[in-house]
A and B are shown apart, each in its own frame.
Chain A
Amino acid sequence: MSVELPDWYILKDPGDISIDIANWYKFAETRLERFLAEDEWIINKPTWMSDGDWLTAKSEEFGGHLLLRLAVTTDPRLTSWLVEVEGDLFEFRFISSTKFEERIQVLRDLYGNNNVKTTDEINDFYKIDLNRKFNLADTRYRSAKYAKTKYGSKTKILDTRLAVQFHKIPKVVGAKKALLYHGWAIVRLADIRLAVKREFEKQLKDVIEKSKALIEKDKELEQTVKPIKDRIAEIARSTRYSGDYKTIGFDEGDAIYTKPDIFPPCIQELVATLQAKGHLSHVENWQLGTFLKRIGMSVEDQLKFWYSNSVDNVGMTYDEFTQRVGYQINHIYGKTGGGIDYDPPSCKTCIDGYFCYWAHKKLEEINEDIKVKMADRKSEDVEKAIEEISRLIISQKHQSACARYFSLLTGWKVRGFQINHMLKYSQDAYKRFYSKKDTETPVKKEEVTKGKED
């Protein structure tokens, strides 16, 4: 008997469902509230429920999700937020599903029908017994490892093995967490759950991107989804990094923005691009503007900064420029618009939709930049760091590449070996080079160059 894709899998074609516009908002609101409450729920048809009631439940699930999809499609920040929360929910449902066949169907939908098999299918096809051939019985259940996760009670499920074509899960293969047999990666569910989640998120992002055209050509639809978009923006903001420059480790009264050497590489690159080309993309403007605000630059100083660097000011007096661009700067500071005090995006968000130096700049250019910046260092150390950084970039570990660069620059190791936020980078760089709290006198860069490499 063939098993269909489960109804909790929101990338599935929902089939014929009709949604009353009045309920549409309610469904989307309900979904948002559940995300907010960190509620993770599964929809499965109870045996006692009528088909009609079940169709209504499905409409709520898919209708709510589809409205959220449409609402975020024109805003990369909101898209990232929705992809993240839907990804968490998907992961929970995928692991918690009681039917193994359902999981296989989901994997086949994500990776392609011919790229996923059960271990029984592999055994039948190759006329072998994987368990016996590789003595899999001697690999212990990983109860202790799982116990600390929210899936602690699902040890047996997480230890279940299945087969995926190796090139579909490169990270798992590279980490040697798969038993490879004729191109099939025989993996435990526990070892691919994150890869599966990432694939789901990637595909969800693609479908959201595709629905952008719907909104762009239908202004009425754009107005319809606007209340939900505003609501998502409100929620997304409240869950982002918060704090101001006084509380994140900079000394009061210190004009941090005059110390570009503590800026993370993404911001240094944006400043250099702005100075060279005279303009940035909309999201890059936002990234740079919110960063400068958080490190203490006033509205007035930002206006002067953009006026002196931007090509938008050609033929314009400062006052004219202020009148034209001032609204956007004031918006960043929450002095116009919704009155929201915005924070710069996290590294993960930058990688997905803003500018990440490690994710978006060419590897060769990065290597060249590092060589130039570290010209006074021992060339062997720099070469070694460049090789390590290159490996991390190629393995898509951009935040770790940033951490490795930070270590090269400062001689300090980064906890967790990854940078999660541009403010954290600057906070630590500030502590290293300038903070009076940690050092009586600022540590000179020249001294660091002779410091120990990690």
Chain B
Amino acid sequence: MDEKLTPEILSEYYEKKFPIDTFMAYIGLSNFKNREFGFVVGQDRFVRNISFQNTEKLLDFMVNKSVKHSYVGAVYETPPSREHPIQKIKWSYREFIYDIDIDEYDLVRTCGCQGDQYCKECWSLVQDAAVFIDKTMREDFGFKDIVWFFSGRRGVHGWVKDSITQDFDQRQRVAILDYLTFIHDEKRSQSIDEIPNEAKPLRNRIYALTAKSYLEKSTPKKLHEFGISINKAKEIIKQVQNSTDFDHTKYNILIPDDSAVRKKLSSEIVLRRYPRIDRKVTMDTRRVSRMPFSVHGKTGQIAIEIKDIKNFYPDSAPTIWEALM
């Protein structure tokens, strides 16, 4: 970030460029006054338990306070406020959201990036994760309306907008997460679950998407470590790289029929390339999430909607200065 993110710049963005109507189309107008918002204002003070009577008042607040970060939360039965904080009022519903951050992959990134850093090589992990989750939501869970947003810094957020998901309680949200989870304790022990036979669509998708990403970037020497001969390894890599319609059937034909080899390889594929989701964002029904189209107060980038998640790279997201040009 070369330029300074001043309060004046922030106010100008929210006054002139923030697409409030598009934002409202995502969260819906009904029960707006009962929706919680949160902001970082002034000297990095985080305030939440805020609600607004209408969208004009929301916009006025953002302009007048020059908000650095903006968050949108759940809808409650009564308007959240300092006097009636969300812990004391009844929850009604919240969007079903995924958060994928690049720093979740710190233990398996081989490019040298750590924390908020990213490069084309490691960002492909986020791209793969989003594609995998998007496909699983549509094909396995039957959801139809999924939108992806840039978080403004180091990750992406997937909003599942199908109305049925809003009412999901924590138990149901956790069930979906557990269905998707294969790596436990991602920032420490990284223990890997076996890929189950019963959840076949999930298994097939791992072999089709995750395995392809892993194998096409692999080396014969690396595959040899799992007990595959160098020549066979070369053949596997070449075939995967040339395949435009790689799927689980091709995986099963290509990988030697040796259960020990397959088990070791599939664990490595999951460890290195499988989606790592920030569970708290998805399961916590009272959490606030970054407001789509708002500015990230540290990078100055806009949390834009991502049309093509497979090919999205953070540098392509506009900054507040570009937006105001």
Q: Per-position contact with A for B258-278: 1 when CB-CB < 8 Å, else 0?
A: 000000000000000000000
8 A–B pairs (Cβ distance < 8 Å), ordered by A: A135-B200, A166-B141, A176-B198, A179-B198, A180-B179, A387-B185, A394-B170, A395-B171
**Within the complex, what minimum Cβ distance (angstroms) separates A308 from chain B?**
32
Contact A183 to B141, CB < 8 A, known contacts A139-B198, A173-B179, A176-B196 = yes
Binding site for A on B (CB under 8 A): 87, 139-143, 164, 168, 170-172, 174-179, 185, 188, 196-202, 283
Most chain A CB atoms below 10 A, which of B164, B170, B200: B200
Q: In the complex the two chains form, is B175's CB within 8 Å of A181's CB? A: no
| A192 to B304 Cα, complex, angstroms | 42
Task: Say whether B171 contacts A396, CB under 8 Å.
Answer: yes
Q: Tell me if A260 counts as interface (CB < 8 A to partner B).
A: no
Q: Does A48 contact B (CB under 8 A)?
A: no
Q: Which chain B positions have C-beta within 8 A of A180?
A: 140-141, 179, 199, 201-202
Could you tell me which A residues sit within 8 Å of B by CB distance? 134-136, 139, 166-167, 170-171, 173-184, 188, 191, 362, 384, 387, 391, 394-396
**Shortest Cβ distance from A387 into B: residue:** B185
**Contacts of B143 on A, CB cut-off 8 Å?**
183
Cα A387 to Cα B187 with chains together (Å): 12
Task: Please name all residues of chain A whose beta carbon is closer than 8 Å to the beta carbon of B172 when the two chains form the complex.
Answer: 167, 170
Residues of A within 8 Å of B199, CB to CB, are: 176-180
Q: How far is the CA of A175 from the CA of B181 in the complex (A)?
A: 10
Whether B283 and A394, one on each chain, are in contact in the complex, defined by CB atoms closer than 8 angstroms, is yes
Is B202 a contact of A182 with CB atoms below 8 Å? Answer: no
Closest CB in chain B relative to A114 CB, distance in Å: 12
- The docked-state distance in angstroms from the alpha carbon of A173 to that of B172 is 9
| Contact status A181-B140, CB under 8 Å | yes
B171-A394 in contact (CB<8A): yes
Cα A395 to Cα B140 with chains together (Å)? 21
Instruction: Find chain A residues with CB under 8 A from B175 CB.
Output: 166-167, 170-171, 173-174
Could you tell me if A174 and B178 are in contact, using CB atoms closer than 8 angstroms? Answer: yes
B164 contacts across to A, CB distance below 8 A? 167
Q: Please give, as numbers and ranges, the residues of chain B lying within 8 Å of A191 by CB-CB distance.
A: 198
A134 touches B168 (CB 8 A): no
A176 to B188 CA separation, bound complex (whole angstroms): 23
Question: Which one of A135, A136, A178 has the highest number of Cβ atoms from chain B below 10 Å of its Cβ?
Answer: A178
B245 → chain A closest CB, angstroms: 17
Provide the residues of chain B in CB contact with A394, threshold 8 Å: 170-171, 174, 283
A residues less than 8 Å from B141 (CB atoms): 166, 180, 182-183
How distant is A406 from chain B, measured CB to nearest CB, in Å?
A: 20
- Known: A180-B140, A391-B174; 13 extra A-B contacts, CB below 8 A, are A134-B201, A139-B198, A170-B175, A174-B174, A174-B175, A179-B199, A180-B202, A181-B140, A182-B142, A183-B143, A184-B142, A362-B87, A387-B185
CB distance from B253 to the nearest CB of A (A): 14
Looking at the assembled complex, report how far the CB atom of B111 sits from the nearest CB atom of chain A, in whole angstroms: 26
Q: Are B178 and A175 in contact (CB under 8 A)?
A: yes
> In the complex, are the beta carbons of A174 and B170 less than 8 A apart?
no
- Cβ-closest chain A residue relative to B143: A183
Q: How far is the CA of A293 from the CA of B70 in the complex (A)?
A: 55
Closest CB pairs A-B (n = 4) = A183-B142, A170-B175, A174-B178, A180-B140
Q: How far is the CB of B180 from chain A (nearest CB, A)?
A: 9
Contact flag A179-B139 (CB < 8 Å), given A170-B175, A173-B176, A395-B174: no
CA distance A384 to B185 in the complex (A): 8
Chain B residues in 8 Å Cβ range of A174: 174-179
Cβ contact within 8 Å between A179 and B201: yes
Q: Give the CA-CA distance A278 to B200 in the complex, in Å.
A: 56
Q: Is A134 touching B283 in the complex (CB atoms < 8 A)?
A: no
A395–B178 contact, CB under 8 A?
Answer: yes
Cα A431 to Cα B79 in complex, Å, equals 52
Shortest distance between the CB of A404 and any CB in chain B (Å):
13
CA–CA, A388 to B305, complex, Å? 34
Query: Considering the chains assembled together, what is the distance between the CA atoms of A387 and B279 in angstroms?
Result: 11
List A contacts of B178 (CB < 8 A): 173-176, 395
- Closest residue of chain B to A130 (Cβ to Cβ) is B200
Docked Cα-Cα span, A184 to B140, in Å, equals: 8
CB within 8 Å for A170 and B174 given contacts A180-B141, A182-B139: yes
Q: How far is the CB of B159 from chain A (nearest CB, A)?
A: 18
Please give me the residue from chain B that is nearest to A172 by CB atom. Answer: B175
Q: Decide if A179 touches B142 in the complex (CB within 8 Å).
A: no
Which B residues are in CB contact (< 8 Å) with A177? 196, 198-199
Q: Which residues of A contact B200 (CB under 8 A)?
A: 134-136, 179
Select A384's contact among B170, B177, B188, B283, beta carbons within 8 Å: B188
- Residues of B with C-beta under 8 A to A183: 140-143
